Amino acid sequence: MTESILKTISELTAIPSPSGNAYKAIAYVENIAQELGFSTQTTNKGALIITVDGDEKERQRCITAHVDTLGAMVKEIKDDGRLALSLIGGYSYNALEGEYCEIETRNGETYSGTICLHETSVHVYRDNDKIPRDQEHMEVRIDEKVTSEEETKRLGIQVGNFVSLNPRTEITPSGFIKSRHLDDKASVAMIIEFLKKINNKGLKLPYTTQFYISNNEEIGYGANASIAPEIEEFIAFDMGALGDGQSSDEYTVSICAKDSSGPYHKRLTDHLVSLCDQQNIPYQIDIYPYYGSDASAALRAGADVRHALFGAGIESSHAMERTHIDSLKATQALLEAYCMSSMTEK
């Protein structure tokens, strides 16, 4: 199981999919789901819904994870041919400096580049470590022989082109997975693994379940629409946030009791904790202070569901992220235990 999940994570993180341009990643998941024989539907927003029939069809569940990632767009082509950026999602320029990237033109051509401080050279710019890393000073150095705005434009590069970052995915002998975009492609990989298990072992879920692969989570409106009226429970299957004052770690599943949107549904959250206790799944309960999920977005949009959130513990979110195989195992175990369990009370 672990090797299969790690392979899927590596393949998914290699697919550029910033919010607004996640088509290839959605197609990757859709192809796997259809090969396994599951029914799929693409929403008008471009999200993917995979339906797994269960014994009970009148009462249903939804589990959402997202393939869209942080990224950027070309904001301006500068006089010297380099690019200014407009960031997509909650990126900080401090987390991008020196990173290799890819610019995709509207006709599908791609060019490589590097996100640099304009005043990078210490042999030219004194005290450049004191220069703020912000939109005024950060730019993309394109790996082409361009020295002017016109030369860059002749490549087909325009304002509004998407810019994706090299994920640099690596799996260490000690069991760590470090990569950009583990948020939330690690969760999507675990859903794919569960779909394979359902298919291979002929499992029957107690309730029809929609696995909603969203494509706009990082900008706040991923899985808040196209929710079937039969759905009673809605799980955001997303990352656990690590840092000072947090309970979550890289070796357990993180269950969120509250984030910036407020508390998650108490009885459904209690049910997740109870499953962990019953099945000896290592877990932590946590509060994520600067975090919102597709489940909270769905409630803001008016969905009448019980909502909860859990996922693998991810270190250094929205930067060079890292987790451990132990966290993936615990999270996968809770995903499967929940999907095979009875629903909570209203």
Query: Could you tell me which of 319, 315, 228, 307 has the C-alpha nearest to residue 272?
Result: 307
Same domain for 194 and 132: no
Q: Tell me whether residue 238 is in a domain.
A: yes
The length of the chain in residues reads: 346
Do 188 and 330 fall into the same domain?
Answer: yes
Q: Compute the distance between CA of residue 334 and CA of residue 51 in angstroms, rounded to an integer.
A: 20
- Same domain? 320 vs 197: yes
Provide φ and ψ at 10, rounded to 5°.
-60, -40
Which parts of the chain sit beneath pLDDT 50?
none
116 & 249 share domain: no
Looking at the fold, whether 91 and 17 belong to one and the same domain comes out as no
In a domain, 147, yes or no: yes
Rounded distance, CA 176 to CA 199, Å?
28
Q: Which of 141, 165, 189 represents a domain boundary (last residue)? A: 165
Rounded to an integer, what distance in angstroms lies between the CA atom of residue 333 and that of residue 48? Answer: 23
Q: Pick the closest to residue 295 from 285, 306, 311, 283 (CA basis).
A: 306
Q: Exposed, middle or buried, 277 (CB in 10 Å: 0-12/13-18/19+)?
A: exposed
Residues 78, 116, single domain; the answer is yes
Residue 315 C-alpha from the chain's centroid:
14
Beta bridge partners of 314: 241
Q: Which residues are annotated as a binding site?
A: 66, 183, 218, 238, 318
SS3 label, residue 25:
helix
Share of the chain residues as helix, strand and coil, in percent rounded to the nearest 5: 25, 30, 40
Q: Evaluate whether residue 174 is within a structural domain.
A: no
pLDDT of residue 3: 92
Q: Do residues 185 and 270 both lie within one domain?
A: yes
Domain assignment of residue 122, given as a range: 71-165
Is residue 237 one of the residues assigned to a domain? yes
> What whole-number distance in Å separates Cα of residue 199 and Cα of residue 125?
60
Both 328 and 233 in one domain: the answer is yes
Assess if residue 54 is contained within a domain: yes
Which segments are annotated as binding site for Zn(2+)?
66, 183, 218, 238, 318
- Has residue 172 been placed in a domain? no
Give the total number of structural domains in the chain.
2
Catalytic annotation, residues: 217
Report yes or no on 176 lying in a domain.
no
pLDDT at 44: 95
Please report which residue ranges of 202-339 form alpha helices under DSSP H. Answer: 266-278, 294-300, 325-339
CATH code at 93? 2.40.30.40
329 with 212, same domain? yes
Do the strands 253-259 and 306-314 form a parallel or antiparallel pair, or are they unpaired?
antiparallel
- The SS3 assignment for 206 reads strand
In a domain, residue 171? The reply is no
H helices within 118-234, ranges in order? Answer: 149-154, 182-201
183 prior amide bond cis, ω within 30: no
Among 111, 136, 165, residue at a domain's last position = 165
Query: d(Cα 115, Cα 100) in Å, to the nearest integer?
Result: 6
The domain boundary, picked from 140, 165, 190, lies at 165
Q: Kind of pairing, strands 205-214 and 54-66?
A: parallel
Question: What is the predicted pLDDT for the residue at 178?
Answer: 98
- Measure the CA–CA gap between 240 and 35, rounded to whole angstroms: 31
pTM: 0.96
Check which CATH number belongs to the domain holding 37 and give it: 3.40.630.10
- Between CA 116 and CA 326 the distance in angstroms is 35
Q: Are strands 39-42 and 48-52 parallel, antiparallel or unpaired?
A: antiparallel
Return d(Cα 293, Cα 64) in angstroms, integer: 10
Cross-strand pairs, 124? none
Q: Are residues 51 and 36 in the same domain?
A: yes
Say if CB 115 and CB 138 are below 8 A apart. Answer: yes
Please name the helix (run of DSSP H) or strand (run of DSSP E) that holds residue 110, with its range, or none. strand 110-117
pLDDT attached to residue 63: 98
Q: What is the DSSP string of 232-249?
A: EEEEEE-PEE-STT----
Q: Are residues 84 and 225 in the same domain?
A: no
Contact 33, 195 (CB under 8 A): yes
Strands in 176-179's sheet, in edge-to-edge order, are: 170-171, 176-179, 321-324
Q: What is the DSSP letter of 98?
A: T
Pair (298, 187) in one structural domain: yes
Q: H/E element holding 337?
A: helix 325-339
At 223 the pLDDT is 87
CB distance 271 to 236 below 8 Å: no
In this prediction, residue 229 carries a pLDDT of 93
